[in-house]
Amino acid sequence: MNKKRWLALLIAVVLFVVSIGFQVATSIASANFEQIFTFPENKFPEELIEKGTNGKIVVLHLDGVIQDTAPSTLLNTTSYNHKQFLKMLDVAARDSSVDGIILRINTPGGGVVESAEVHDKIVDIQQEYKKPIYVSMGNTAASGGYYISAPADKIVAHPATLTGSIGVIMEGYNLSELTDKLGIEVNTIKSGEHKDIMSTFREMTDEERQILQTMIDDMYGDFVQVIVEGRGLSEEKVRELGDGRVYTGSQAKENGLVDELGSLDDTIDLMKNDLKLKNAQVVKYNSPLGFEKFFGMSMQSFIGKDEELINMLDIIRESNAPRAMYLYSN
């Protein structure tokens, strides 16, 4: 590692500590101080996509893995922010000037809980505010990405979109042979037989595998039911399609998983026609450029696009504990 990268890493660590201190400080600061550096919680900066005078359509972008590990350091300014996305949905729903919401989804999926939270929020908006929600699929809208798309009033995919991957996955490592070869002894004190289930340092038992398989099957059943209710397909059909494989947008349309083929612009036009708002204004919600994000962008400019360094810091932040995921990975 050259001097520049060592310097960048050192500054990153310092900023990580500063970031934690800043988050603590802002949590106890006055409301007026927060308003100086952040956008009001009940509003997001709007970027004009199309001018119009008859109604309003909001586009919300969901990019990246759906997980509640939203930016926790000054370096992380671009990853999916779970709490913020849910807030964006809330704001669009409560804004009386908004006639419809389009979700532009580009994600391989993510956590089971986080995907369910977004799905439930969409359903709540449809039921409480009676606002139509359309989905425009980008390059990938698989697994959890399809889970949250299922209740949408209409789903539009590009013919080459990768979607589907209906299923649940849980993975872990077994390094017991490696630790044996290296002479590493792992001492585990536990309160119950299965407290260290999926331990990295021992082989899984048949009983433990069955326990976890039962959990996965239960979560998969929930996934199937979400599609049955959202798409009006039979459970038999959904289980037939839901063997974990991905589909192109064209294949998904043939199988009833999406309604139309097209781009984001096509989705906007479709909503305008359906709502009879041909001259509607179209806006996109952007993330607020607060104090932390401002310095995060500055730090990234200093370091440059060193994805290896950024990914290394992300890995340090993430927990290594295995978890069930609605996730497509290749």
Q: Known catalytic residues?
A: 143, 195
Could you give the CA distance from residue 281 to residue 273 in angstroms, rounded to a whole number? 13
- How remote is the C-alpha of 298 from its chain's centroid? 25
Are the C-beta atoms of residues 118 and 104 closer than 8 Å to each other?
Answer: no
Could you give the CA distance from residue 327 to residue 114 in angstroms, rounded to a whole number? 12
Helix axes 206-231, 112-129, angle to 10 degrees: 20
Nearest CA among 307, 260, 288 for reference residue 158: 260
| Residues whose CB falls within 8 Å of the CB of residue 156, separated by 6 or more in sequence, listed in order | 134, 135, 136, 137, 258, 259, 260, 261, 262, 263, 266, 267, 270
- Compute CA distances 160 → 154, 163, 217, 263, 311, whole Å: 18, 9, 30, 11, 28
Helix axes 291-303, 3-28, angle to 10 degrees: 180
Q: Which residues partner with 66 through β-bridges?
A: 110
β strands within the chain, DSSP E: 46-50, 56-63, 100-107, 109-111, 133-142, 154-157, 162-164, 246-248, 260-261, 281-285, 325-327
AA identity, residue 132: P
Residue burial 54-69, b: 16+ Cβ < 10 Å; e: rest = ebbbbbbbbeebbbeb
